[in-house]
Structure formats: structure tokens, C-alpha cells
Amino acid sequence: MSTQVQMPTVAAVALRAVDKTFGAGGSKQAAAVTALTGIDLKVAPGEFVSLIGPSGCGKSTLMRLVADLEQPSAGTIEVFGKTAHQARLDQDYGIAFQAAGLLPWRTVRANIELPLEVHGVGRPERRARAEELLEMVGLADFAGHRPDQLSGGMQQRVAIARALAERPRLLLMDEPFGALDEMTRERMQDELVDLSAQTGCAVIFVTHSIPEAVYLSNRVVVMSPRPGRVSAIVPIALGERTEGTREDTTFFAAVTAVREALRAPDRQGVEPR
């Protein structure tokens, strides 16, 4: 697991009073939807933070705001001290979506090289970096394969390798393991823990799964819907993740804490559904 949270270095991600409303443009068919209100959240460099909550709580929207794929209706978002927009232009983060999104006409290696190619990195350097990443995710033997020859888990590994291609200090992941079976999922979680320790990057990880959030994170941000907001933040103190961590009593206690945070009505007194 990465180092403990240290202030006063610049936060990896800082959201202040962020609101996001969709459909406020006056179309008579869709009423305006408040996806997020009053979000205050800081992620320290090297910290692993999960966002968890029921459908409609805005967790994916929050991640997309950090990625500058959406713009906030109110509030500010800072990534490494810059605006989210500037951070995207400076390529300070790597992103992995729920669908691996590999280009079917490229080999695995060419897919990993995609961001490097787009940003004008020379061929030998690209090759070398791609080899490194393939080793890191354990797919060195599949470099020349095409995406449709890989399983779902392998495709996601390629997507993660691609996200790490430019050594970002921040990783944004939107339920990347959602489509995988439980055994593969647990394996991928182990790999991700290793990877984030190796690279030392901060991670914002959106998930539906309580054990996954607890296993991976330093802190679990619990969100609730209507309107989307942060209802609790659960710190996780599990130490180094080993084979036995998932069967540990402290692990179950943490899972229970998160579950209860998800169930509890939040401080504003709005009843959950």
C-alpha cells in the first residue's frame, strides 16, 4: 500500500463545493438532473481512494469531472494544483473505463502504445515502454495478439497498462473490473495493489463492490443519491495486503463499517430509498 497521507504537499486532487447538474438547458422533455451537490474531497499524492454508492449517486460523474470529461456547474476542481482542464492538457492522469475500449484493429502492443503515439513519442521509446508495461501486467506473451483473442480480464489488463503508459501521477478507474467474474476480479485487485505500490500514483477508483473498495483503498468515500453527495468517508487501516487479508477479521470489520455507512441515513436527515 502507498505511503500515508501527508500534508501540506499539494493534493493530487482537490474538489471544493462542486455541483453538477445535467439537462438544465431548457429542453422540455428532460427535467434537470442534479448529479452532484456540495462535493468536498481531497486525495493526497499516492493515496488510493474508492468511490462507492448505489446507482445514481454520481460516483462516475465525479470521476469524469476530475478527468475534465465533464465540467462542474459550480465549485472548483484542482489536479496537482492546476485546473482539471490544464491537467488533462498536461496529461497528468491515465484513465481506464468500464469497457476496456481497446481498438480492435490494433495488436495488444499497439493498443498500449496508443497514448504514446498520439503524443508523438518516438518508435523505439514506445516499443521499450510497451515491453515494460506488458511485463508489469503479465501479458508479455500476448503482445502480438488482437483484442478479440483475449479474455475480458486480459483486455482490462491491457487497458490498465495503457493507462499507465505515460507514468501518470494519478489513475482514474471507472469500475474496470465490473464485467469480470469474482475469481478474476480478486486476482486483478491483487495486481492493482502491487501496481499502485510500484508506481506510487494516486488512484480514484469507482466501484459497486464493498469488499473490492475495502481491499484496494486507503479511504472509502461513501456516496448517496438524490442528490448525489458524499455521505461518509471510511478510513481503512489494513496494512500490507496479503493472501490472508480477505479472511482477516479486521477486513470484515471494515467491510461492515462501509456497509453500514451505505445504509445509514446521512447527516442531512434525507432518508435513503
Partner 1 sequence: MTVAIFVRRVLTPVIFGVLLLVVWQLFVDLRDIPGYLLPSPTAIGTQLRENLEDILASARASGANALIGLIAGIVLAVIAAVVAAWVPLVERLLTPMASAVSAMPIVALAPVLSIMFSATSDLPRRIVVAIVAFFPVFVTTVRGLTRIDPVHAELMRSYAAGGWDLTRVIRLPGAVPYLFTGIRVASSLAVISAVVAEYFGGLQNGLGSRITSAASNTAYARAWAYVVAAIGLGLVFYLASLGAERLATRGRAPSST
Grid coordinates given for 177: 473490473
**Cα 84 to Cα 184: distance, rounded to the nearest angstrom:** 33
**Interacting residue with partner 1 among 4, 8, 105, 237 (CB under 8 A):** 105
By CB under 8 A, name the one of 12, 52, 95, 232 that touches partner 1. 95
Rounded Cα gap, residues 205 and 127, in angstroms: 28
- Min dist CB 265 to partner 1, Å, is 35
- We find the least distance from the C-beta atom of residue 259 to partner 1, in angstroms, to be 31
Amino acid found at 223: M
Q: State how beta strands 219-224 and 229-235 pair.
A: antiparallel
Cell of 3: 505511503
Minimum CB distance to partner 1, residue 100 (Å): 8
Minimum CB–partner distance for residue 146 and partner 1 (Å): 5
Residues numbered 117 to 146 that lie near partner 1 (CB under 8 A) are 117-119, 146
CB of residue 105 to partner 1, shortest distance in Å = 5
Q: Does 99 bind partner 1 (CB under 8 A)?
A: yes
Q: What is the DSSP string of 69-92?
A: SS--SEEEEEETTEEHHHHHHTT-
Number of residues that bind partner 1 (CB under 8 A): 22
**Measured between alpha carbons, how far is 65 from 6 in angstroms, rounded to an integer?**
24
Nearer to partner 1, 7 or 118 (CB): 118
Q: In the range 135-194, which residues lie near partner 1 by CB under 8 A?
A: 146, 148
| The Cα angle at residue 212 between residues 209 and 213, in degrees rounded to 5 | 85
Interface with partner 1, residue 197, by CB under 8 A: no
105: how many CB neighbours lie within 10 A of its CB? 9
Binding positions for partner 1, rule: CB under 8 A: 67, 69, 88-89, 91, 93, 95, 97, 99, 101, 103-107, 114-115, 117-119, 146, 148
